[in-house]
Amino acid sequence: MTTSDLPIVRLRPKANARAIRHGFPWVFANELVTDRRTQGLAPGALAVLEDADRHPMGVVTVNTGSKIICRMLDRDPTAKIDEAWFADRLTRALDMRSRLFTDPFYRLVHAEADGMPGVVIDRFGDCAVIQPNAAWADVMIEPLSAALASVTGVTTIVKNGTGRARSLEGLTEETVTLRGAVDGPIPVPMNGATYMADILGGQKTGLFFDQRPNHAFAARLSQGARVLDVFSHVGGFSLAALAAGAAEGLAVDGSAPALALAEQGAQAMGVSDKFATRKGDAFDVMAALAEEGQQFDVVVCDPPAFAPSKPSLEAGLRAYERVARMAAPLVAEGGYLALCSCSHAADLSKFRTASARGIGRAGRTAQIIQTGFAGPDHPLLPQLAESGYLKSLFFRLDP
């Protein structure tokens, strides 16, 4: 497709063209001229974006059914978005990950930060999972998957089309295997532990690579310790702690399949005798553990996003405060509490305030010893604050 084949979409005079020229990757619906021609574009269509003075700004993808009506694909208005274009983006992404990680288990593409807006790709050895969270990636899934196989050599590719982001784009949910076959959960080595990733039926792509450095820091605190891992998924923090020499680990989650995978991971590591699981609502289980008088040397709480959007911020902050209030009494004197948030809407300052308030309401005092973020395979686009969603706070609790 050449630029002469692409329709033109145009910014309104009051749109912030300067921000887009300086790297902001999105155009919101109220910033674009939405005449009948633009409204007629199919979701995920390509177009050339012009400013209000008709100066080309680059190739964008358009979805008039989304609040993010345009996403910048290439700032060259003559760019051809095809398999070769995908291969170039993927090659650059792979080069950085290959320098960072010895084993091919990582986030390969982190959406806008890797120049592929709305696209997440996680790699599990010879398998890769694509999350096409924007309409254009759904439309171009074939050249994307072909380039992915060519550049990385993966033999199995899964399209995981689930999640809130797709609904905001007006997309249906589906999970399909595009290439190869998936026989079962995939063992993933990370921080000395073994995790079992269900890439067909698990949460997100099957494993959360973003917490890798925070798992490692918690593990450093856990030698010889009793560790409580709340909202554990497949045992992210507890298995890393056991790999580092923790005395015992207890994983708490509401999902029986996730806990079964955690148990498989513990068995593969040879630490089943030190590992236990407890299924149930995290708040209920923490309350029960407190009634039992149990305390742990390290407690980690890694809940789902309580504040995924601005309207949910206040309720989300109250939930984070409640987590801290209920977790703090479970920490032994001089022990450690790690609290995590993956909420876009709750920035670090707000999350830290909510966490500190909860610890104080529990009658404990604390010092922050570490603030953690996602690993380097989850790069940040400086112009897009939303790409820096993960925060982890590590506290040492006084009596």
Q: What is the DSSP string of 265-297?
A: HHHHHT-GGGEEEEES-HHHHHHHHHHTT--EE
For the domain bounded by 193-397, which CATH number is listed? 3.40.50.150
Nearest partner of 326 among 355, 367, 365, 297, judged by Cα: 355
Evaluate whether 20 touches 27 at the Cβ level (below 8 Å). Answer: yes
- The CA distance from 27 to 30, in Å, is 8
- Tell me which residues are annotated as active site: 342
- Domain ranges in the chain are 3-74, 83-179, 193-397
CA 390 to chain CA mean position, Å = 8
Helix boundaries (H) for the chain: 17-21, 36-39, 83-100, 135-139, 141-152, 164-168, 212-220, 236-243, 256-269, 282-291, 313-327, 348-361
CATH class assigned to 83-179: alpha beta
Helix axes 313-327, 282-291, angle to 10 degrees: 30
Give, for all 399 residues of the chain, the pLDDT tens digit. Answer: 444 589 999 999 999 999 999 999 999 999 999 999 999 999 999 999 999 999 999 999 999 999 999 999 999 999 999 999 999 999 999 999 999 999 999 999 999 999 999 999 999 999 999 999 999 999 999 999 999 999 999 999 999 998 888 888 889 899 999 999 999 999 999 999 999 999 998 888 999 999 999 999 999 999 999 999 999 999 999 999 999 999 999 999 999 999 999 999 999 999 999 999 999 999 999 999 999 999 999 999 999 999 988 999 999 999 999 999 999 999 999 999 999 999 989 999 999 999 999 999 999 999 999 999 999 999 999 999 877 899 999 999 987
Helix boundaries (H) for 292-330: 313-327
- The CA distance from 197 to 207, in Å, is 6
The pTM (predicted TM-score) of the whole model is 0.95
The answer regarding whether domain 3-74 maps to CATH 2.30.130.10 reads yes
Say whether 78 sits in a helix, a strand or coil.
coil
Evaluate whether 228 touches 298 at the Cβ level (below 8 Å). Answer: yes
CA 205 to chain CA mean position, Å = 9
Which residues are CB-neighbours of 339 under 8 A, at least 6 positions away?
Answer: 301, 320, 323, 324, 327, 351, 355, 392, 393, 395
Which residues share a beta bridge with 370? 394
